[in-house]
Chain A
Amino acid sequence: MAWLGHFNYWIVVILMMIGFYAVIARGNMVKKIMGLNLFQTSVFIMFISAGKIIGGSTPVLREGITVYSNPLPHVLILTAIVVGVATTAVGLALAVRILEAYGTIEEDELVDLHDQAPDESHPGMPAGKGDTAT
C-alpha cells in the first residue's frame, strides 16, 4: 500500500505537533523551551529517516559492506543538534532574567503584571528608566 511507506513522516508530524502544542498552549517558559526541543528533535528524525537506505549501514568505510546510508543528512543534523542546545541555553538564560525581573515565569502572570503600572512591576530594572528603555 502506498501510504505505508510514509509512516515515518506521520511519526515526525505527530511529534512535531506535540512540541508545537507545548510551545503555544503552555504558559510556563521552561515548558515552552522543552516543547521547542521536542519540535527540533522531530525534524532531526525526519532528516535522518530520509537519509536511510534499507539494506545499507553506517557511513563508515568498512570491509565487506557495499551499500552505505547517505552521510549528507547526518552532517546537517550534527550541526543542527549543537545549534539547538545553544538556543536552549540562551533561552533559559533569558528566562532566568525574566524570573528575576518579574518574579514569575508563567505567561499569564506576566501579562497581568504588565497590565498594571509599568514602573511598579519592574523591580529588577534600574530606577527611573520606565518604559522608555535604553
Chain B
Amino acid sequence: MTVAVAVVKVRDLFAAAMLFAIYSLLSAGLFAVLDAGDVALTEAAVGAGISTILFLAMLALTGHEERPARGHNRLALAVVVVTGACLIYAAGDLPDFGAPGNPPHVHVAPYYIEHAYTDMGVPNMVAAVLASYRSIDTMGEAFVILTAGLGVVALLSVPPRRRRRKHKPGKAEDDS
C-alpha cells in the first residue's frame, strides 16, 4: 500500500516506473501466499517485466518529470473518499475471507476439482479449466492480444511529422 501511494505521489516518472515494478512484484508475492501459483507467475512476468519495459520505453520519448499539481485537488479527493466509504460499507455484506462455505466454492468449482484429473489426465487444474473446460474464453483472449498488437502497430507505423517547436524554442534533444 505504501508503494502504491509512492507511485502516485512521486514526480520523477522514472522512479515511479521502478516503484511500479516493485508494486507488481509485491502483489505477485501476495498471490503466491494466497495459493495462486499460475497467477503469481503471470503477474510477476507481466507486471514487473512487460509493463515496466513499456513504461520505460515511453519515458525515453517523453520528459522525466511530471508537472506539479496546481494545489490539492479537493474535489478528486472528496470523490475518492466518498466512493471508498461506499465500497467499504458494501463490503460488509460479502462473505468472510477463506471460509469453505463461500458462494464461489459451491457451484461449479467442486466439479472441476474432482473431475479434472479423471476427465483430462492433467494434474494442473487451472490449465485444465483454462484450456479445455473454458477454451473459448482463452481463444477470445488470444484474439485480444493480437488486436492489441495490431493496434500498436497501426498507431506507431505512421512516421512522425516535423514538429514546429512553438513552446520550447531553444530546447535541444536531451538524451540522443
Contacts and interface: CB of A to CB of B under 8 A. Distances in A.
Contact of B46 (A13, A82, A123): A82
Interface string B120-159: 0001111001100010011001001101100110011010
Contacts of A35: 8
B86 to A, nearest CB: 9
Interface string B38-65: 1100110011001100110111011000
B161 A123 contact: yes
A68 B92 contact: no
B98 interface: yes
Given A9-B88, A10-B88, A31 B130 contact: no
Contacts of A5: 96-97, 99
Interface string A2-23: 0101111111011111111110
Interface in B161-176: 161-168
Contact of A94 (B20, B83, B98, B155): B155
* A interface, size bucket: 35 or more
Contacts of B156: 93, 96-97
Contacts, number: 268
Q: Which of A35, A38, A109 has its CB near the most chain B CB atoms (within 10 A)?
A: A38
B31 A60 contact: no
Nearest to A116: B166
A103 B69 CA distance: 19
Interface string A27-64: 11011011101100100110011111111111111100
Leading 6 A-B pairs by shortest Cβ distance? A5-B96, A86-B148, A54-B98, A25-B76, A9-B91, A61-B123
